[in-house]
Amino acid sequence: MSSEHTANRRAFLNKAGSTAGLVGLTAMAGCADDEDDPGGDDDGGADVDATDPDDLGEQLPTYTYLNNAQSYNPPRHDAVNLISDRLENIGLDMEVEVLEWGTLFNRVDVEYDYDFSTWHTFFTIDPVLEFSSTMYSENTSPGDGNFAGYENPDADDLMDQYLVEPDADRRIELVHDLQQTLMEDLPQMPIVDMPFLAVFNNEKVTNWEPDLPLGFNSYWTMINLEMLDGEETLVGYWPEALDTMNPLGHNDENKHTYNFDIMYDSVVRLDNEGEINTDVSLATDFERVDEDTMEYTIRDHTFHDGEPLTVDDVVFSYNYIADNEVPLYSVQANFIDEAEAVDDETVRIHMEEPLGPFNLLVGTQIPILPEHRWADRDEPSQVNIEEPVGSGPLQFNYWDRGAEFGLERFDDHFAPVDFEERIWRIIPEASTVWEGLREGDITYETFGRIDRQLDENRDLDQITVLTEPATSYWHCTPNARTEGLDDPEVRKAAFNAVPRTPIVEQILFDVPEPGFNVVSAAFGPLHTDDVTRYDEDIDAGIQRLRDAGYVFDEDGMVHFPAE
Amino acid sequence: MSKASFVVRRVLQLGVTFWAVGTVLFFLFRLMPGDPTSFVVSAQMTPEARQRIIESFGLNDPLHVQYIAFLRNALTLDFGQSFHTNEPVRDVIWTFLPNTLVLMLTAFVIAYILGITLGVFTGWYRGTNFEKGTVVTALTARSVPTFYVGLIVLWIFGAGLGVIPMSGMGTSGMDGGWWSRIFTTTFLHHLLAPAAVLAFYYMGYPLLIMRSSMMEVLSQDFIDVCRAKGLRERTIMFKHAARNAMLPILTAAAIALGYAVGGSVLIETVFGWPGIGREMVRAVLRRDFPVAQGTFMVLAATIIILNFVADLLYGYLDPRVTYD
């Protein structure tokens, strides 16, 4: 074990809470004494030679790292404490403020009142779509999305070009340039690449194939699952109840997306290669007519209530969502001008402005609604729906609020599932879930929790754990509005200090991979390994600060140089 | 003061109390840090879409306008519409409250029957090993966290012996409405463990109160008179001593019953019971003001009304109590 890791482990033991404590105990055997632990000084401050006091300018301000409560997300809570400890080791004066999640999210995402923050980025189907909200220079006003406070016209230009570029190869070049720019400027540090997890009882079901952006809970996964030994029911769980049966009235949380995605068809679907696959899509063919027009050929199909699904329903869905400015699809709606039926099987969609990856960002997202059910609904996002009717491979069966949600196979679907029904039980207690998985009462672990129980059970014969790169990561985001953190060199030094490997090994049970790029490998060709990388090395961070002109006082705290 | 005047005065007080509770709740939730819309909106929504949601909730109105609307609606028991489910709060409460009531009332009845009975015996057999053992058990029951007991019960009887279900209120896809379900053996099977764990916890309170009350009553002269008259021990214990020792239990039971309406978040979580307690906490954490306000008002109203009923019963059960 390297001394760097030894130091990290000691810091971890000092800082981490009870959740990781047992794991930490195993690590303690390898810990050296305090004097051998250059990075483990709890009093903070870098272990450096002090600068002459006359050469010291103002000390960098005390930075507040907002942390979620331990009970909300134990591993992330521990990780933030550990990172904060390590940032002190390069001479930053840190304090951790623990907040209830809602308050924390509001402080960061709406008010921008923070210095460092960490959470799990959202699943997204396209990285630039996310960056165009969170990294775009114009979005730095409160509530506009750019909570990092990052401004770079070059990055904006790359995003703008990408979004209008119809050529896929050119888009790849642009997004490669963009991720290199972002990793050079470091408005956001990817701590850990969180994986898609498939955890299932292998005596019941097999053939798990992930897909963007929903991983092992995607449409592609469900239509490819193979049930074993005559099993007919796929049983999953979620720790809390669903909120609504309205496909236009939810808040995009996974628990809703995973269900509506399989109950409602979109015109096109992705396969496990991230490519549009018309064999399993409502559209049997598509064509870009010009830079701002797409045309789709719609197959014969029916809704769950037996009514035919026609091109008029497709036209209605697009126009209805755009005209009613449905908040959930506000991004997509911005790109939709109008949909029209060309003939009985062809739909043409005109864009408000050219959008290169239209299929990806819009075509795979907009649910096709039955016009005969929705035409009279004026407030689509606030409609209270008892029994949703879509056209996907699973149809609504029952919803026992707070207890269970049942879907059943739609036999007339063009891409049928192999099981008769899918049930989601609401089980808040994780140990109950694992007992169910071991016994086969629960078929798969839907939520994807990485915790000690996963570690303890993953080697059981009847349990299989699969991981694939996901599109999301734990980020550490410095607020560039804060003095000092507006300097990329300080951010880079901070990234040198972030103990990504110890977090993976000790807090996350070696399941994910340490992060190095804001565009995950899950995006396939959009991702590149060819970006600026940063060693996990306290000394490198300190040296980087020195090279940038910063100086250290006798306590090892970083100062601006004297005027 | 006559009983009628007392009732009128208390009813007026109840009105003021409800107003005070509602007002505190309204402002308390709005003083909480965090924007309620941040839980409703998608991260990828445009700022304009976010603003439309804020307006649709009426959260852009001045606070006094929101407050007046809240009071006006509360008078008709309309607590608005959930920010998250778009359902009327009344429907949310009616979905989850019955589940909680059936669990809590079952536990409550078991706990108070057992607790009062054991309290009578421990008071009667003061100084014996039986009393010591029972008191230690009661204190233990009140001291050990219910979720911990629940997990142990699940571990032993669910995962180990397989005699109780691990989670929920029934089996998958149970047919029929709520009323027909709760009279099935499947439901009772699911109810058994959480109700027993809760009853174990609740039992200690009436037991200890009853024991103290019994000891006080047993020291009074009329007990000696009963003995002098040659009454049987059991008759003195239950008919004379226990009956007179019951009054403090009444108030305790009224308050406990009121709290029972709020459910037990921990037990509902451990046993996956879809009750109002979990929903209430979720509403607070997600800043779903209408649901949080509605559920808390129901909880407060139950406690306030049951206290009032207990006051009235006091006078009925003990004629010496006056309404001055």
Residue pLDDT, tens place only, B63-105: 899 999 889 888 888 888 898 888 899 999 998 999 999 999 9
- Mean pLDDT over all residues of chain A? 89
Supply angle C-alpha B40, B45, B293, rounded to 5: 15
- Report strand pairing: A336-343 vs A308-309: unpaired
pLDDT band at A6 (very low <50, low <70, confident <90, very high): very low
Q: Is the pLDDT of residue A8 over 60?
A: no
**What pLDDT sits at residue B139?**
93
Give the chain A residue nearest B47 (alpha carbons).
A144
B38, B173, B279 member nearest A102 (Cβ): B38
- Cβ pair A403:B274 closer than 8 A: yes
Instruction: Identify which of B14, B5, B24 has the alpha carbon closest to the alpha carbon of residue B305.
Output: B14
A122 vs B contacts (CB less than 8 Å): 43-44
A157 Cβ partners below 8 Å, 6+ apart? Answer: none
Angle CA(B184)–CA(B185)–CA(B188) in degrees, nearest 5?
Answer: 95
- Please indicate whether, in this complex, the C-beta atoms of A325 and B52 are within 8 angstroms of each other: yes
Predicted pLDDT at A96: 96
| Interchain contact, A403 vs B45, CB within 8 Å | no
Does position A230 have pLDDT exceeding 80, yes or no?
yes
Nearest to B85 among A233, A243, A400 (CB): A243
Token representation of residue A295: 């045309």
Is the domain A3-193+469-561 a CATH 3.10.105 member?
A: yes
Q: What is the pLDDT of residues B133-154, one digit of tens each?
A: 999 999 998 898 888 899 999 9
Q: How many CB atoms lie under 10 A from the CB of residue B70?
A: 21
Q: Give the tokens for residue A255.
A: 């628990």
Residue A113 at interface with chain B, using a CB cutoff of 8 Å: no
Q: Which chain A residues are Cβ-neighbours of B56 within 8 angstroms?
A: 379, 382
Contacts of A103 in chain B (CB under 8 A): 32-34
The whole-angstrom separation of Cα A553 and Cα A407 is 64
CA B12/CA B27 separation, integer angstroms: 23
Cβ of B285 and A100 within 8 Å? yes
Residue A98, strand partner residues = A67
**CB-CB neighbours of A349 under 10 Å:** 27
- Inspect the interface and report whether the beta carbons of B166 and A436 lie closer than 8 Å: yes
Residue corresponding to tokens 């642009």: A174
Q: Do domains A3-193+469-561 and A203-461 have the same CATH topology?
A: no
Q: Please give the ipTM for the structure prediction.
A: 0.78
Report domain extents, chain A.
Answer: 3-193+469-561, 203-461
Residue of B nearest to A253 (CA): B42
CB contact under 8 A, B99 and A406: no
Q: B92-287 sits in which CATH class?
A: mainly alpha
Task: Look at A133 and B48 and tell me if their CB atoms are within 8 Å.
Answer: no
Structure tokens at B299: 């909880």
CATH pick for A203-461 out of 3.40.30.10, 2.40.340.10, 3.40.190.10, 1.10.10.60? 3.40.190.10
The pLDDT of residue A83 is above 90: yes
List the strands of the sheet with A293-298, edge to edge: A283-290, A293-298, A346-351, A336-343
Residue written as token pair 């519409």: B81
User: Helix (H, G, I), strand (E, B), or coil: what is residue A56?
Assistant: strand
Of B43, B96, B172, the CB nearest to A404: B172
Partners of residue B36 on adjacent β-strands: none
* pLDDT in the model for residue B302: 87
* Strand A558-561, strand A56-59: pairing: antiparallel
* Residue B184 amino acid letter: T
The beta strand positions in B58-106, using DSSP E, are none
CB contact under 8 A, B33 and A328: no
Q: Which long-range contacts (CB under 8 A, 24 or more apart) does A260-263 make?
A: A260/A367, A260/A388, A260/A390, A261/A214, A261/A218, A261/A219, A261/A392, A262/A219, A262/A222, A262/A392, A262/A393, A262/A394, A262/A407, A262/A422, A263/A388, A263/A390, A263/A392, A263/A394, A263/A395, A263/A396, A263/A407
Report the C-alpha dihedral over residues B9, B15, B21, B22, rounded to 10 degrees.
-170
Are B34 and A246 a contacting pair at CB < 8 A?
Answer: no
φ, ψ at A234 (rounded to 5°):
-95, 120
pLDDT of residue A179: 96
- The answer to whether the Cβ–Cβ distance between B278 and A122 falls below 8 Å is no
| Residues A382, B170: C-beta atoms closer than 8 Å | no
- What is the enclosing helix (H) or strand (E) of A234? strand A233-238
Which residue in the block uniquely carries the two structure tokens 């898609």? Answer: A196
Q: What is the pLDDT of residue A43?
A: 58
Q: For chain B (length 324 residues), average pLDDT per consecutive 10?
A: 81 91 90 75 71 81 90 88 88 90 92 94 92 93 89 90 88 74 88 94 92 91 89 88 86 81 82 90 87 90 86 77 68
- Cβ of B44 within 8 Å of Cβ of A429? The answer is no
- How high is the pLDDT of residue A536? 96
Q: Which of B33, B85, B269 sits opposite A106 (nearest CB)?
A: B33
Q: Identify the closest residue of chain A to B279 by CA–CA distance.
A: A402
- Cα separation, A516 vs A521, in Å, equals 10
- Distance (Å) from the alpha carbon of A328 to chain B's nearest alpha carbon: 6
Instruction: Please say if the pLDDT value at position A531 is more than 50.
Output: yes
Taking the C-alpha atoms of residue A279 and residue A344, their distance in angstroms, rounded to an integer, is 20
CA distances from A143 to A327, A335, B35, B46 (A): 15, 21, 11, 9
Contacts of residue A427 in chain B, CB cutoff 8 Å? 167-168, 272
- The answer to whether the Cβ–Cβ distance between A403 and B169 falls below 8 Å is yes
Whole-angstrom distance, CA of residue A114 vs CA of residue A117: 7
Residue A442 is encoded by which pair of tokens?
């629960």
Q: Rounded CA gap, A342 and A442, in Å?
A: 47
Of A224-228, A405-409, A417-421, B212-216, the one with minimum mean pLDDT is B212-216
Number of CB pairs, chain A paired with chain B, less than 8 A apart? 149
Interface test with chain A among B42, B182, B271, by most A beta carbons within 10 Å: B42
Residue A77 is predicted with a pLDDT of 95
Of A47-51, A296-300, A378-382, A538-542, least confident by mean pLDDT is A47-51
Q: Note the pLDDT tens digit of each residue in A339-372.
A: 999 999 999 999 999 999 999 999 999 999 999 9
Closest by CA to A402, choosing from B94, B184, B147, B194, is B94
- pLDDT at A10 (0 to 100): 42
Partners of A286 in beta bridges: A296
pLDDT surpasses 50 at A14: no
Q: Is A88 left (phi over 0), alpha (psi -120 to 50) or beta?
A: alpha
Q: Do B86 and A252 touch (CB under 8 A)?
A: no
Sheet strands (E) in A432-562: 463-478, 513-514, 551-552, 558-561
Residue A172 or residue A52, greater confidence: A172
Q: Which residue of B has its CA nearest to A139?
A: B47
CA-based max dimension of chain A? 82
**Mean pLDDT of the region A42-60:** 81
Please answer whether residues A324 and A269 qualify as being in contact, where contact means their C-beta atoms are separated by less than 8 angstroms. Answer: no
Q: Which residues from B are below 8 Å from A406, CB to CB?
A: 172-173
The rounded percent of chain A whose pLDDT value lies above 70 is 92
DSSP A115: S
User: Is there a contact between A102 and B39 if contact means CB atoms under 8 Å apart?
Assistant: yes
Give the residue among A158, A104, A166, A101 at the shortest CA–CA distance from A135: A158
Q: How confident is the model at residue A27 (pLDDT cuts 50, 70, 90)?
A: very low
CA A416 to chain centroid, in Å, comes to 28
Give me the pLDDT at residue B175, please: 67
Instruction: Find, among A315, A356, A374, A320, the residue nearest to A339 by Cα.
Output: A315
Give the per-residue pLDDT at B324.
Answer: 64
Q: Is residue A2 very low, low, confident or very high in pLDDT (cuts 50, 70, 90)?
A: very low
Does residue A35 carry a pLDDT above 80? no
A96, A74, A120, A113: which is closest to B34 by C-alpha? A113
Q: Which residues from A are below 8 Å from B271, CB to CB?
A: 429
